[in-house]
Structure 1
Amino acid sequence: MEEFKQALPVSALKEEARTAFYKKTYTYLAFAVLLFIVVEYLFLQVDFIVNIGLKMMQGWTWLVVLGGFMFVTNYAERMALSSKNKTMHHAGLFLYVIAEAFIFVPLIYIAIEVSGARQTDILSQAAIMTLALFAGLSMVAFTTKKDFSFLKSIITIGSFLAIGLIVAGTLFGGFELGLWFSVGMVVLAAGSILYQTSNMIHKYEEDQYVAASLGLFASLMLLFWYIISIFLSE
């Protein structure tokens, strides 16, 4: 009976337990965002890392980087979900945040340079818009209490299409993805936030708050990436 209770989804728990789960999830999400900011700042202070970041966006190298990032993402998610060891959960989240910070290096560096040239703070504007959209979408998921699990197939298909376009754009010179691709990815990221928030409410178990925060963080960073890209394309 004890094991059965532990296997219950959060939606089946008492209100007090659900509230505690949500607090833990968003606390870890806030921690992940703060850690990302700190690690990103430190990465940008090291010329060697910045140079590697800029070079890795050139040609087929970017495909290798994306492939490695997808592998790390999958590994971190398995660490956060499959083990009952909370240390492994934390290690998975930490690993994913470091990977996100590294892959963001060239985009953040370019955004800083462009901000200086345009005399505008692209990163602050993108961050505010990202957080506003994230908060709004989270509110929709909580207030409607709708199960958005049906979005999984749409997100999966959209992700494969996006990967295909990125591969085509990388391998075939002159094929620019452009503004509308970024807009489409923002829509995909918005759907992912709804999906992940819905999973947090309806699917996760009581001890899986770190995994829930990792899923939300991944969707948040995807949204942030393409909102920055939209600002850069203006």
Structure 2
Amino acid sequence: MLESTSYASPYTVAAQPADVRATFIKKTYAHLGGAIGLFAILEYFFLRSQTMLNLVQPMMGNWWMILIGFMGISWLANKWATSNTSLAMQYAGLGLYVVAQAIIFIPLLYMAIAITGSTALIGQAGIITAALTVGVTAIAFITKKDFSFLNSFLMIGGFIALGLIFSSMIFGFNLGLIFSAAMAIFASVAILRDTSNIIHKYGTEQYVAASLGLFASIALLFWYVIQILMSLAGRD
């Protein structure tokens, strides 16, 4: 999940006429759809590539290194996507982030396939993630409330989650189903905040950055929904 960027109120989408706001929202969700589509295409080919399988197998035992690397890439992608100097740089940030997410998801998706013997669990996770995203998005658009006050909660919760994740890697304990459920709720709250920011906080030319922030939160939700379904499948 990436932090969204706020802009001075006269330049935000919320301060613009209705047609400008509508255009910005359409562009943001069009780019979000493109990011999700690219992610799905990459995973389709990655999961069928022996070369990619050979590449990610060493990742399975070095999650702490992958997490640190991913955090660095996320920071760089967000910096590029929020650039005001070049639209091409913004697209490069979004593309970099989608590719990084697609790669880091591969070991998890392989494990999900190994548990069920098919991609059915991944499909179920996708449907659940989509349903939760639509529900949370509806709340933001129907209420039109500014949920930026959730920033503090998300920041503190994010640090706690990272601490627990690194602790589990160092001491070798399993965070379990309860942690995955808590993180799914965390990601849903992040989607609510990010959607609110699309309505209230972004500048009119920041639709690429807005789509990246929302994609990041949706990917986080997808990750933990898969974890929850894997845990439940393992109990059968």
Instruction: Say which structure, 1 or 2, has more relative contact order (CA 8 Å, 6+ apart).
Output: 2
Deviation, structure 1 residue 120: 7.7
Query: Cα gap change, 1:185/1:47 in structure 2, threshold over 3 Å: closer, same or farther?
Result: same
Q: Does 1:47 align with 2:50?
A: yes
The equivalent of 1:217 in structure 2 is 215
Supply the distance in 2 between the matched residues of 1:115 and 1:40 (Cα, whole angstroms).
Answer: 18
Counterpart contact for 2:80–2:89, Cα < 8 Å: yes
Q: How does 1:187-198 map to 2 (within 5 A)?
A: 187-198=185-196
Query: Cα gap change, 1:218/1:114 in structure 2, threshold over 3 Å: closer, same or farther?
Result: same
Runs of 4+ in 1 over 3 A off after TM superposition: none
Counterpart contact for 1:7–1:205, Cα < 8 Å: no
Q: Does 1:89 align with 2:87?
A: no
The equivalent of 1:127 in structure 2 is 126
Unpaired stretches in structure 2, ≥5 consecutive residues = 1-7
Counterpart contact for 2:24–2:204, Cα < 8 Å: yes
Deviation, structure 1 residue 165: 0.8
Q: How does 1:60-209 map to 2 (within 5 A)?
A: 61-116=62-117, 121-173=120-172, 175-209=173-207
Counterpart contact for 1:8–1:205, Cα < 8 Å: yes
Counterpart contact for 1:126–1:224, Cα < 8 Å: yes
Deviation, structure 1 residue 52: 3.1
Unpaired stretches in structure 1, ≥5 consecutive residues = none
* Alignment-mate amino acid for residue 87 of structure 2: K
TM-score by length of 2: 0.92
Deviation, structure 1 residue 53: 2.2
The DSSP-based 3-state class of the residue aligned with 1:147 is coil
What are the superposed Cα offsets for residues 84-117 of structure 1, whole Å, 9 maximum, x if unpaired? 311111111000000000000001111122221x
* Alignment-mate amino acid for residue 225 of structure 1: W
Deviates more, 1:38-47 or 1:209-218: 38-47
Sequence identity of aligned pairs in percent? 48
Supply the distance in 1 between the matched residues of 2:67 and 2:192 (Cα, whole angstroms).
Answer: 24
Counterpart contact for 2:28–2:208, Cα < 8 Å: yes
What are the superposed Cα offsets for residues 104-161 of structure 1, whole Å, 9 maximum, x if unpaired? 0001111122221xx7811111111100000000010011011111111111111111
Aligned partner (choices 25, 33, 41) of residue 38 of structure 1: 41
Counterpart contact for 1:130–1:224, Cα < 8 Å: yes
TM-score by length of 1: 0.92
The CA RMSD measured in Å over matched residues stands at: 1.6
Counterpart contact for 1:80–1:92, Cα < 8 Å: yes
The DSSP-based 3-state class of the residue aligned with 2:179 is helix
The DSSP-based 3-state class of the residue aligned with 2:11 is coil
* Alignment-mate amino acid for residue 176 of structure 2: G
The DSSP-based 3-state class of the residue aligned with 2:24 is helix
Supply the distance in 1 between the matched residues of 2:102 and 2:110 (Cα, whole angstroms).
Answer: 12
Deviation, structure 1 residue 7: 6.1
The equivalent of 2:14 in structure 1 is 11
Aligned residue pairs, count: 225
Query: Cα gap change, 1:64/1:120 in structure 2, threshold over 3 Å: closer, same or farther?
Result: closer
* Alignment-mate amino acid for residue 230 of structure 2: L
